[in-house]
Amino acid sequence: MKTREHKNKTQENSVGILYVVATPIGNLEDITLRALRVLKEVSLVLCEDTRHSRILLSHYGITTKTESYHARSDDAKMRGIANRLIEGENLALISDAGTPLISDPGSPLLIYLRETLGEDFHVVPIPGVSALTTALSVVPVPSGRFSFIGFIPHKKGRQTAIKAMKESEDSVVCYESSHRIVKLLSELEEFFPEAHVWIARELTKQFEEIKEGSPAELKALLESKPEKQKGEFVVIVSKK
């Protein structure tokens, strides 16, 4: 019934477009001209954190109105976004950094909009930087094949995910936070000590660093220099 109501409304108005826009993961210069144009032209930018996104928008003189959309946004928020599209507004969805929906909020919204608007839903990707592809562009992954698993679970399923890395024929890529990077290397040392690991942190930022070695070697490095534990990490694990 809800979908039928939306379709009746769209007969009077052309449904707007939702642009999914990639933004820099660190260096503000890593944004496309197309992304800047779209962010200026839409009527609203949906942000994971409006305060964080305002840094980027202000840097480029973009005054478009912003509104929050994040992992804890409820159905009422999604209904409001759907109604804006029904009324013909063009909207942009961005995350704090990188490409939305890749380990970022956004998937529930797109699922909701597809179910609600049906064939009237028009989503357009504006490609750009991603921590995943940034790291892989400088790491020689054997055979060029890999599996991406996003952030490893904090508790339930964590050991299963790590054991699966050992069983995988392909390299495995994941994200990890500064709070758990040493823990991850300890777990790899226990379950997959012969692994060859790359850790890339603070990509595109001032203290960007990419290191490779065994889990034990990298763990020892981070423990001896706690300042190297700061930042977000992309971790690539493969067999030697």
Instruction: Average pLDDT across each block of 10 residues of the chain; the chain has 240 residues. List them in order.
Output: 39 81 97 98 97 97 97 93 97 95 88 96 97 95 90 91 93 96 97 97 96 98 96 93
State whether 123 and 193 are in the same domain. Answer: no
Q: How many domains does the chain have?
A: 2
Q: Compute and round to an integer the Cα radius of gyration of the chain.
A: 20
Pair (32, 119) in one structural domain: yes
Terminal-to-terminal C-alpha distance of the chain: 56
Same domain, 111 and 188: no
Residues 8 and 105 in one domain: yes
Same structural domain, 67 and 142:
no
What's the pLDDT score for residue 13?
53
Determine the Cα–Cα distance for residues 237 and 142; give it in Å rounded to an integer. 10
| Both tokens assigned to 92 | 């942009």
Whether residues 57 and 125 share a domain: the answer is yes
In terms of C-beta distances under 8 Å and separation of at least 24 residues, what long-range contacts does 63-70 make, across chains too? Answer: 64/39, 64/40, 64/92, 69/93, 69/105, 69/106, 69/109, 70/105
- Note whether 170 and 105 are same-domain residues: no
Vertex 87 angle, CA 85 and 90, to 5°? 45
pLDDT at 143: 77
| pTM for the whole structure | 0.87
Please report the pLDDT score of residue 144 as a whole number.
84
The domain in which residue 122 lies consists of 2-129
Sign of CA dihedral 18, 24, 28, 30: negative
If asked whether residues 10 and 117 sit together in one domain, one would say yes
Q: Does one domain contain both 226 and 144?
A: yes
CATH number of the domain where residue 104 is located:
3.40.1010.10
